[in-house]
């Protein structure tokens, strides 16, 4: 009998993040492109003592416009789920939201990742997640209690938002509460600003999501906010696509401010990695209900990422390009 092969770091990290325990029922759902990664994660979950199941979504059946009744029913008999897609179809957001809602109802923990490929597994998913947990907590400690944030960056961003009454969310990869949802790869903190509060200029100089094929910007997208809404958009082809996108109901409203905390994340045109980059920040418009903690409904949630972000909390610089500033 051949000796067992070593588990890849991404697989052990995924199982650790989902806090899979002996005797639990673990369900890996993936598409054809992420199939081999799904097998390795199942192997890691099995070694952790879990009962494992693997479901592959055939590409011929996609995109999935609605959630499968059979899959939704199976959630009730599952403790933890990892849904990884190598090929992302934005329209499947509706399908996934139904899945997440069902997990919240039953107490099943769930993580999601899009555009998962060998490079993401080697970098973002192989990070030191214990260090990410510590860094997220340090960032939260620096920002806790603030009511007004000013976000600036060398690319030209100068945006002010209010966050009074809103709660910071930690996406550090640790998914240990019943019904909890998170992304994998992980590595950010985020908050839903008060919807009518954003004022100033956002310059997306790295990547923008949900605008045609997700990817790096052809030239910086300049987005002006007033009273929480987008009032002007300028730039190249991505700016024109973004302008079309925010015509959807509620899509022009500030939704999220996030700060990256993953030291191995890269700005590569994949929102699952771009928004995690240490030293970067991202601002989203559109949907921010549910786990975001906001009040705006929309069929759109679009993130814009920018580099070298500095955060002022109530007039004091607390984070400078990915480092907490000492008091």
Phi, psi (rounded to 5 degrees) for 277: -65, 125
Reported as a single tens digit per residue, the pLDDT across 139-182 is: 999 999 999 999 999 999 999 999 999 999 999 999 999 999 99
Q: In the prediction, which pLDDT does 33 show?
A: 95
| Check whether domain 9-122 has CATH 3.90.550.10, yes or no | no
Give percent above pLDDT 70 in the chain: 95
The two structure tokens encoding residue 264: 């191995």
- Domain boundaries along the sequence of the chain: 9-122, 128-324
Residue 72 pLDDT more than 70?
Answer: yes
Close Cβ partners of 327 (under 8 Å, ≥ 6 residues apart): none
Q: Give me the pLDDT at residue 2, please.
A: 47
Please state the length of the chain: 327
d(CA 78, CA 45): 13
Radius of gyration in angstroms for the set of CA atoms belonging to the chain, rounded to a whole number: 19
| Rounded CA separation 197/194 (Å) | 5
* 60 three-class SS: helix
Q: Mind listing the pLDDT tens digit for each residue in 272-308? A: 788 999 999 999 999 999 889 999 999 888 999 999 9
CA distances from 284 to 138, 168, 192 (A): 23, 15, 9
Q: What pLDDT digit, counting tens, does each position of 175-220 carry?
A: 999 999 999 999 999 999 999 999 999 999 988 875 554 578 889 9
Q: What is the pTM (predicted TM-score) of this model?
A: 0.86
Q: How confident is the model at residue 4 (pLDDT cuts 50, 70, 90)?
A: low
Calculate mean pLDDT across residues 102-109.
96
Q: How far, in Å, CA of 225 to CA of 200, rounded?
A: 5
- DSSP code, position 32: G
């Amino acid at each position: 009998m051949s000796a067992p092969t070593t588990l890849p770091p991404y697989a052990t990290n995924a199982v650790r993040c989902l806090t899979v325990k002996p005797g639990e029922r673990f369900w890996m759902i993936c598409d054809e492109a992420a199939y081999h990664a799904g097998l390795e994660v199942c192997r890691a979950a099995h070694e952790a003592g879990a009962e494992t199941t693997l479901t592959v979504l055939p590409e011929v059946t996609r995109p999935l416009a609605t959630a499968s009744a059979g899959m939704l029913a199976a959630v009730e008999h599952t403790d933890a789920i990892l849904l990884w897609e190598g090929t992302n179809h934005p329209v499947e957001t509706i399908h996934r939201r139904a899945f997440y809602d069902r997990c919240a109802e039953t107490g099943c923990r769930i993580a999601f990742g899009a555009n998962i490929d060998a490079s993401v597994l080697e970098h973002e998913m192989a990070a030191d997640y214990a260090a990410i947990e510590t860094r997220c907590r340090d960032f939260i400690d620096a920002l806790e209690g603030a009511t007004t944030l000013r976000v600036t960056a060398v690319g030209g961003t100068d945006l002010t938002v209010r966050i009074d009454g809103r709660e910071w969310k930690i996406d550090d990869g640790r998914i240990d509460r019943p019904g909890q949802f998170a992304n994998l790869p992980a590595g950010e903190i985020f908050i839903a600003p008060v919807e009518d509060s954003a004022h100033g200029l956002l310059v997306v100089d790295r990547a923008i999501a949900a605008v045609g094929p997700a990817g790096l910007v052809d030239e910086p997208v300049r987005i002006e906010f007033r009273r929480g809404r987008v009032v002007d958009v300028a730039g190249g082809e991505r700016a024109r696509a973004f302008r079309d996108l925010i015509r959807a109901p509620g899509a022009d409203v500030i939704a999220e401010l996030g700060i990256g905390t993953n030291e191995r994340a890269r700005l590569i045109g994949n929102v699952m990695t771009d928004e995690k980059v240490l030293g970067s920040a991202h601002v989203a418009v559109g949907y921010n209900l549910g786990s975001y903690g906001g009040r705006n409904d929309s069929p759109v949630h679009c993130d814009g990422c920018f580099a070298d972000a500095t955060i002022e909390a109530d007039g004091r610089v607390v984070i400078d390009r990915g480092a907490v500033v000492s008091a």
